[in-house]
Amino acid sequence: MIRTRRTRFRPIVEGLDDRCLPSVAGLTPAQVATAYGLRGLTFGTRAANGSGQKIAIVDAYNDPNIKTELAVFDSAFNLPRPPSLTVVGQTGTPALPSNDAVWALEEALDVEWAHALAPGAGIDLVEANSASVPDLMAAVNVAKRISGVSVIAMSWGASEFSGQTAYDSVFTTPGVTFVAGSGDTGSFGGPQWPASSPNVLAVGGTTLQVSTGGNYLGETAWSGSGGGISTIEQEPSHQASVQSTGRSTPDVAFDADPNTGVPIYSQGSWITIGGTSLGTAAWAGMIAIVDQGRALANKGTLGSTQTLTALYSLPSSAFHTVGGAYNTQTGLGSPNGPALVKDLVSGTRPPHRATRPCQAPEFRPPGGNHSF
């Protein structure tokens, strides 16, 4: 995530040192996938892994070692190489920005953990020239036009500002879900943009407890999870069932506490890291899995409006509720993978749906004894 100087509207990256531990400890991809019910999911005989989808990741500056870093990460955790990993600048060309060591940590986290949750999806990393809002949004505009991209991860944010509503329409591309972290400064920081846009899926943070084998033991709200009621954005219709003020964040949650964090490989070292950036990447991976299932059912990929509307209409069984009800630290809760994926695959059609009747593919949760 990124902290901003309000007077200049130029985000600066939030210090990752506050949520890093210099070690290779932390929850492994297998443990995280198991905890959230994503390990072993299938669509019929096909692994539910994001195959056929592309995840775009937007960050600032260049990480010159990202491909090597992902290869080391994959080797350590026995993950397959992604079908593709393409890096472009904010003009959509191979002309890349200058290197930056702090943003390189962010990029390693985003790429490695989007891939960890959806190892069958391709990845397009779009690097903005700087951490300014105009440059980052130029990169977002490039990302959403990349052929095949169905979800965009934006693990950065700034304090809300009066002109932010001018960007809301950027996040309305049909068939593309935009995801952003709600911030890492707790309720003190208030809602952050772009997570506070009503057209962006905002991800908050939890403290996740698992067994050695990754079995889910419980979650509590992470004290650093950002969120709150926007003073600028109006309440979207999909939130009418949970609150009646302005746009509130987050919508959903994921593990974020550095003490229950995850390892990344960056700049020659292993680091254990947390923050809502992790949830941003992970939820982007899960949306890619959902879109894979929808493609197999001859349905269109979800846009942000369809994703958000669907999430707020799902039964509570699709989530691990954290705090008992919707709140401004963990939103609706963290994912209960089998139910969440099944419901999003079968329950929502975007406007450009197929014209003939379609049946959702057979869906099998871990354990192999159930089909849908």
pLDDT digits (tens, 9 = 90+) for 349-363: 443 333 333 333 444
Q: How far apart are the first and last CA of the chain?
A: 38
Q: What does the pLDDT read at residue 19?
A: 58
Q: What are the angstrom distances between the C-alpha of 347 and each of 236, 306, 360?
A: 20, 10, 9
Q: Round to whole Å and give the CA distance between 122 and 104.
A: 20
* Identity of the amino acid at 25: A
Q: Round to whole Å and give the CA distance between 113 and 359.
A: 31
pTM tops 0.75: yes
Q: Round to whole Å and give the CA distance between 14 and 25.
A: 22
- Confidence label for 22 from pLDDT (cuts 50, 70 and 90): low
Q: Round to whole Å and give the CA distance between 127 and 91.
A: 9
* Identity of the amino acid at 191: P
Under 8 Å between Cβ of 21 and 258: yes
Q: Round to whole Å and give the CA distance between 81 and 70.
A: 8
Angle between helices 101-117 and 276-296 (to 10 degrees): 40
Structure token pair of residue 69? 């870093």
Q: Round to whole Å and give the CA distance between 211 and 191.
A: 33
Structure token pair of residue 262? 């995850």
Beta strands in 45-198 (DSSP E): 46-47, 54-60, 85-89, 122-128, 149-154, 158-159, 177-181, 192-193
Q: Round to whole Å and give the CA distance between 86 and 64.
A: 12
Name the residue ranges covered by the structural domains of the chain. 2-364
Q: Which residues of 188-210 are buried (b: 16+ CB within 10 A; e: fewer)?
A: ebbbbbbbbbbbbbbbbbbbbeb
Q: What are the angstrom distances between the C-alpha of 330 and each of 137, 177, 288?
A: 26, 19, 21
* CA dihedral sign of residues 280, 108, 266, 14: negative
Chain position carrying tokens 């096909």 = 46
Tell me the pLDDT tens digit for each residue of 273-327: 999 999 999 999 999 999 999 999 999 999 999 999 999 999 999 999 998 889 9
Q: How much is the average pLDDT of 117-143?
A: 97
Q: Which residues pair with 144 in a beta bridge?
A: none
Tell me the pLDDT tens digit for each residue of 193-214: 999 999 999 999 999 999 999 9
Q: Is 298 left (phi over 0), alpha (psi -120 to 50) or beta?
A: left
Beta strands in 100-247 (DSSP E): 122-128, 149-154, 158-159, 177-181, 192-193, 201-210, 216-221, 228-229
Q: Nearest-5° angle of CA 192, CA 287, CA 243?
A: 45
Tell me the pLDDT tens digit for each residue of 33-51: 999 999 999 999 999 999 9
Mean pLDDT of the chain: 89
Chain position carrying tokens 């505009």 = 141
Q: What are the angstrom distances between the C-alpha of 71 and each of 23, 64, 68, 75, 184?
A: 18, 13, 5, 6, 28
- CATH numeric code, 2-364: 3.40.50.200
Structure token pair of residue 129? 């020239």
Q: What are the angstrom distances between the C-alpha of 349 and each of 291, 311, 335, 345?
A: 11, 13, 20, 9
Under 8 Å between Cβ of 291 and 151: yes
- Confidence label for 24 from pLDDT (cuts 50, 70 and 90): low
Q: How many helices (H) and strands (E) does the chain have?
A: 7, 22
Residues with Cβ within 8 Å of 7's Cβ and at least 6 positions away in sequence, in order, are: none
Q: How much is the average pLDDT of 68-74?
A: 98
